Amino acid sequence: MTIPTETIGSIPRPVYLQDGLAAFAAGTIDQAGLDVLVDRALTETVERLAKTGSPVLTDGEQGKPSFATYPLRGELALAADGAVIPFADGHTRQLPRLTAGPFRYGEFAVSYLHKAKALTDLPVKQPVIAPSALSLLYPADGIADYPRETFLADLADEAERDIRQCLDAGAASVQLDFTEGRLSLKLDPSGGVLDDFIALNNTVLDRFSAAERARIGVHTCPGGDQDSVHSLDVDYAGLLPKLFTLHVGSFYLQLASEPDPDRVLRIVAEQVQPGQRVFVGVTDPIDPAVETPELVRDRVLAAARHLPVDQLGTCDDCGFSPFADDTSTSRETAFAKIEARVRGTQLASEELGL
C-alpha cells in the first residue's frame, strides 16, 4: 500500500488554447474551431499527467470556462452583475445573477469525464461545482414568480444529477469544489451563511448511498486566482469542525500555504471520522518555486504524525488555473509541482514502511 495522491483539478491551458478562447470571445472562430483546440489540449494534458506518475488523473478542466461556471450554458436567464468575489491583491471575480426560473444546468460534468476516460486506462476523478456555490446566483431581492425555495429545490436536483451521472459513468471519485466555504466566514463571521451552505450540500449528498458517498469528496481552499487568494486570513478553526459534517468520504484540504500546518492538522485529527480520508495539500500552486520531492516527503511525514496513514492522502492546495484566463502559473510549473508531489508521496510511503 502507498499513500494515495491526487491532482485537485485545473491545469493551466496551453497558449494556443488561450489564444483560441480569446478568438472565440471576439467572434473570429466558432464553437467547432474552439472544440478542436480544447480536444488537443485535453489529450496533451491527460498524457502529461500520466507521465508524472499520477495514479489518478483529471481532465485538467481544459474545456471549462471556470471551475464554477461550466453549468451556466444554454438558455439560462442571467445578468452579469451577480455576487462579487474579492481577492487579496485587489482584483475581483463576478458571478452572474439569475433573473428568471427555472434553474437548469446547461452542461453537466460527465461530458468532460467521458472525453478524459476515452484517453486513458488510468482512473479519472471528476471535479464538480458544489451546489452551495451556485446558490450565490440567486439575488438577495428575489425573483418574481420564482421563490428562493423553488430555486434551491431545482438546484439540488441538478446538482444530484451532475454527481450521479459521473458516478454512473465510472468516475473513480467525484470532488465537490467548495472554496466558498472559507470565504463565507469572511463575509459572514457569524457562520450563518456557512451553515446554510453545509445544509444545502448535505441535502444533495444525502440522496446517495453510503457506498456512493465513499466515492465523493469535497475540496476547500482560500481561493487561488492570478497568484492571489480570497480568504487565507480566515482561521481554519472556524471552518473545519463544520466542514467535517459534510456527508462525504474524502476531504481535500489546502495546507502547504498555511502558516501553521501542525495546528491545522491537530484540528483535523479531532474532526475526522473512521472511514474518511484526508488529502492534505503538499504543493502550493501560487508559490512559483517548485517543491522538491524531499520537501513534499517531509510535509507528508508531518501529516502522518497527526493522522493514521490509512486515512491519509496528498493533493495540491488548489487547482493551478481554476479560471480559464488565469495565466499566472505556467503549464511547466504545474506539471513539475505535480511530479514532485507524486514522487515525494512515494518517498514518504517508503519511509513509513508502506
Query: What is the rounded CA–CA span in Å between residue 165 and residue 246?
Result: 20
Q: What is the mean pLDDT of the chain?
A: 96
- In the numeric block, the cell 452579469 is attached to 80
Q: What does the chain come to in residues?
A: 354
Give the model confidence (pLDDT) of 66-78 as tens digits: 898 999 988 899 9
| HEC readout, the chain | CCCCEECCCCCCCCHHHHHHHHHHHHCCCCHHHHHHHHHHHHHHHHHHHHHCCCCCECCCCCCCCECCCCCCCCCCCEECCCCEEECCCCCEEECCEECCCCCCCCCCCHHHHHHHHCCCCCCEEEEEECHHHHHHHCCCCCCCCCCHHHHHHHHHHHHHHHHHHHHHCCCCEEEEECCHHHHHHHHCCCCHHHHHHHHHHHHHHCCCCHHHHCCEEEEECCCCECCECCCCCCCHHHHHHHHCCCCCCEEEECCCCCCCHHHHHHHHHHHCCCCCEEEEEEECCCCCCCCCHHHHHHHHHHHHCCCCHHHEEEEECCCCCCECCCCCCCHHHHHHHHHHHHHHHHHHHHHCCC
**Which residue from 36, 11, 10 is spatially nearest to 23, judged by alpha carbons?**
36
Query: What is the rounded CA–CA span in Å between residue 294 and residue 171?
Result: 31
Give the model confidence (pLDDT) of 204-251 as tens digits: 999 999 999 999 999 999 998 999 999 999 999 999 999 999 999 999
Which residue ranges make up each domain of the chain? 5-351
What's the CATH architecture for 5-351?
A: Alpha-Beta Barrel (3.20)
**What pLDDT is attached to residue 74?**
83
**Which residue from 161, 217, 301 is spatially nearest to 6, judged by alpha carbons?**
217
The residues, any chain, with a CB within 8 Å of residue 338's CB and separated by 6 or more, are 7, 49, 52, 54, 283, 316
Is pLDDT above 90 for 25? no
Work out the average pLDDT over 27-47. 94
Q: How far is CA 98 from CA 66, 72, 77, 151, 298, in A?
A: 18, 10, 6, 10, 46
**What pLDDT is attached to residue 1?**
65
Look at strands 97-98 and 78-79 and give their pairing.
antiparallel
**What pLDDT is attached to residue 186?**
92
Higher pLDDT, 27 or 312: 312
Is pLDDT above 80 for 14? yes
**Which residue from 74, 201, 73 is spatially nearest to 129, judged by alpha carbons?**
201
The residues, any chain, with a CB within 8 Å of residue 113's CB and separated by 6 or more, are 59, 124, 126, 166, 169, 170, 171
User: Is the whole-model pTM more than 0.75?
Assistant: yes
What whole-number percentage of the chain has pLDDT above 70?
A: 100
All three cell numbers of 203: 441535502
- Contact (CB, 8 A) for 301 and 348: yes
Q: How far is CA 18 from CA 25, 50, 242, 325, 336, in A?
A: 11, 23, 38, 7, 21
What whole-number percentage of the chain has pLDDT above 90?
A: 93
Give the model confidence (pLDDT) of 128-169 as tens digits: 999 999 999 999 999 999 999 999 999 999 999 999 999 999
Give the model confidence (pLDDT) of 84-131 as tens digits: 999 999 999 999 999 999 999 999 999 999 999 999 999 999 999 999
Work out the average pLDDT over 26-53. 95
Is pLDDT above 80 for 26? yes
Is pLDDT above 80 for 61? yes
- Contact (CB, 8 A) for 292 and 337: no
